[in-house]
Amino acid sequence: MGEERAADAGPAAGTGGPGRVLVAVYAVFALAAGARAAVQLSTRFAEAPLAYLLSAVAAVVYVVATVGLARGGRAGRRVAFVAITTELVGVLVVGTLSIVDRAAFPDETVWSVYGRGYGFVPLVLPVLGLLLLRRSAGSATAR
Protein backbone atom coordinates (compact mmCIF):
# COMPACT_ATOMS: atom_id res chain seq x y z
CA MET A 1 0.00 0.00 0.00
CA GLY A 2 2.82 2.41 0.83
CA GLU A 3 4.47 1.48 -2.47
CA GLU A 4 1.31 2.37 -4.40
CA ARG A 5 1.21 5.80 -2.76
CA ALA A 6 4.89 6.35 -3.51
CA ALA A 7 4.43 5.20 -7.10
CA ASP A 8 1.60 7.70 -7.57
CA ALA A 9 3.44 10.51 -5.80
CA GLY A 10 3.16 12.76 -8.84
CA PRO A 11 5.36 14.72 -11.18
CA ALA A 12 7.77 16.17 -8.64
CA ALA A 13 8.61 12.86 -7.01
CA GLY A 14 7.71 10.56 -9.87
CA THR A 15 10.06 12.14 -12.39
CA GLY A 16 12.92 12.99 -10.07
CA GLY A 17 15.04 16.00 -10.92
CA PRO A 18 13.03 17.50 -13.78
CA GLY A 19 9.82 17.50 -11.75
CA ARG A 20 11.49 19.10 -8.77
CA VAL A 21 13.13 21.74 -10.93
CA LEU A 22 9.79 22.54 -12.56
CA VAL A 23 8.10 22.88 -9.16
CA ALA A 24 10.89 25.23 -8.07
CA VAL A 25 10.59 27.36 -11.21
CA TYR A 26 6.82 27.59 -10.79
CA ALA A 27 7.30 28.62 -7.15
CA VAL A 28 9.78 31.34 -8.17
CA PHE A 29 7.38 32.61 -10.83
CA ALA A 30 4.52 32.60 -8.32
CA LEU A 31 6.59 34.77 -6.00
CA ALA A 32 7.86 37.05 -8.79
CA ALA A 33 4.47 37.57 -10.40
CA GLY A 34 2.78 37.97 -7.01
CA ALA A 35 5.28 40.54 -5.79
CA ARG A 36 5.14 42.45 -9.07
CA ALA A 37 1.34 42.49 -9.04
CA ALA A 38 1.18 43.53 -5.38
CA VAL A 39 3.49 46.49 -5.95
CA GLN A 40 1.76 47.53 -9.18
CA LEU A 41 -1.76 47.19 -7.78
CA SER A 42 -0.94 49.06 -4.58
CA THR A 43 1.09 51.91 -6.10
CA ARG A 44 0.02 52.42 -9.72
CA PHE A 45 -3.33 50.70 -10.26
CA ALA A 46 -4.84 53.64 -12.19
CA GLU A 47 -2.02 53.63 -14.77
CA ALA A 48 -2.75 50.18 -16.21
CA PRO A 49 -5.43 48.29 -14.26
CA LEU A 50 -5.88 45.51 -16.83
CA ALA A 51 -2.16 44.77 -17.05
CA TYR A 52 -1.72 44.73 -13.28
CA LEU A 53 -4.78 42.56 -12.69
CA LEU A 54 -3.52 40.12 -15.33
CA SER A 55 -0.19 39.92 -13.49
CA ALA A 56 -2.15 39.03 -10.34
CA VAL A 57 -4.07 36.36 -12.25
CA ALA A 58 -0.77 34.96 -13.54
CA ALA A 59 0.52 34.80 -9.96
CA VAL A 60 -2.55 32.84 -8.83
CA VAL A 61 -2.20 30.45 -11.78
CA TYR A 62 1.48 29.88 -10.90
CA VAL A 63 0.58 29.19 -7.25
CA VAL A 64 -2.09 26.67 -8.25
CA ALA A 65 0.28 24.97 -10.72
CA THR A 66 3.02 24.82 -8.07
CA VAL A 67 0.69 23.25 -5.51
CA GLY A 68 -0.70 20.75 -8.02
CA LEU A 69 2.74 19.71 -9.23
CA ALA A 70 4.17 19.48 -5.71
CA ARG A 71 1.16 17.56 -4.39
CA GLY A 72 1.31 14.99 -7.13
CA GLY A 73 -1.02 12.06 -7.40
CA ARG A 74 -3.99 11.94 -9.71
CA ALA A 75 -5.75 14.94 -8.11
CA GLY A 76 -2.58 17.04 -8.04
CA ARG A 77 -1.85 16.30 -11.69
CA ARG A 78 -5.43 17.22 -12.60
CA VAL A 79 -5.16 20.56 -10.76
CA ALA A 80 -1.76 21.22 -12.33
CA PHE A 81 -3.09 20.35 -15.79
CA VAL A 82 -5.96 22.85 -15.51
CA ALA A 83 -3.65 25.57 -14.15
CA ILE A 84 -0.93 24.98 -16.74
CA THR A 85 -3.43 24.85 -19.61
CA THR A 86 -4.92 28.12 -18.33
CA GLU A 87 -1.42 29.54 -18.19
CA LEU A 88 -0.65 28.54 -21.77
CA VAL A 89 -3.90 30.03 -23.06
CA GLY A 90 -3.25 33.18 -21.02
CA VAL A 91 0.28 33.59 -22.36
CA LEU A 92 -0.89 33.12 -25.95
CA VAL A 93 -3.93 35.42 -25.67
CA VAL A 94 -2.30 38.17 -23.59
CA GLY A 95 0.91 37.90 -25.59
CA THR A 96 -0.95 38.37 -28.86
CA LEU A 97 -3.21 41.14 -27.56
CA SER A 98 -0.26 43.02 -26.10
CA ILE A 99 1.29 43.13 -29.57
CA VAL A 100 -1.89 43.80 -31.55
CA ASP A 101 -3.47 46.35 -29.16
CA ARG A 102 -0.63 48.13 -27.37
CA ALA A 103 -3.04 50.81 -26.08
CA ALA A 104 -4.82 48.20 -23.96
CA PHE A 105 -1.51 47.40 -22.24
CA PRO A 106 0.22 50.67 -21.31
CA ASP A 107 2.47 48.65 -18.98
CA GLU A 108 3.62 45.06 -19.28
CA THR A 109 2.16 42.04 -17.55
CA VAL A 110 3.99 38.81 -16.80
CA TRP A 111 2.53 37.41 -20.03
CA SER A 112 2.95 40.50 -22.28
CA VAL A 113 4.65 39.78 -25.60
CA TYR A 114 4.71 36.10 -24.60
CA GLY A 115 6.70 36.79 -21.44
CA ARG A 116 9.43 38.88 -23.04
CA GLY A 117 10.14 40.63 -19.73
CA TYR A 118 10.94 37.25 -18.18
CA GLY A 119 13.08 35.90 -21.00
CA PHE A 120 10.08 34.15 -22.63
CA VAL A 121 10.06 31.62 -19.78
CA PRO A 122 6.28 32.15 -19.35
CA LEU A 123 5.84 30.82 -22.90
CA VAL A 124 8.12 27.81 -22.48
CA LEU A 125 7.12 26.90 -18.91
CA PRO A 126 3.58 25.65 -19.63
CA VAL A 127 4.81 23.57 -22.55
CA LEU A 128 7.39 21.91 -20.29
CA GLY A 129 4.76 21.51 -17.58
CA LEU A 130 2.31 19.80 -19.90
CA LEU A 131 5.05 17.52 -21.24
CA LEU A 132 6.03 16.56 -17.70
CA LEU A 133 2.41 15.88 -16.77
CA ARG A 134 1.98 13.74 -19.86
CA ARG A 135 5.12 11.81 -19.04
CA SER A 136 4.16 11.32 -15.39
CA ALA A 137 0.61 10.25 -16.32
CA GLY A 138 2.02 7.70 -18.76
CA SER A 139 4.41 6.31 -16.17
CA ALA A 140 1.62 6.16 -13.56
CA THR A 141 -0.62 4.10 -15.86
CA ALA A 142 2.27 1.80 -16.81
CA ARG A 143 2.63 0.72 -13.19
- 26 to 30, 64, 69, 113: CA distances (angstroms): 6, 9, 9, 19
123 touches 114 (CB < 8 A):
yes
Single out the residue of 82, 64, 70, 62 nearest to residue 10, CA to CA: 70
What are the Cα distances from residue 53, in Å, to 27, 46, 56, 108? 19, 11, 5, 11
Question: CA-CA distances (angstroms) from residue 76 to 13, 45, 86?
Answer: 12, 34, 15
Distance (Å, whole) CA 123 – CA 95: 9
Write out pLDDT tens, residues 75-121. Answer: 999 999 999 999 999 999 999 999 999 998 899 899 999 999 999 99
Taking CA 119 as the corner, what is the angle to CA 17 and CA 50, rounded to the nearest 5 degrees?
Answer: 115
pLDDT in tens, 1-19: 444 444 455 555 455 788 9
| Residue 137 pLDDT class (50, 70, 90 cuts) | confident
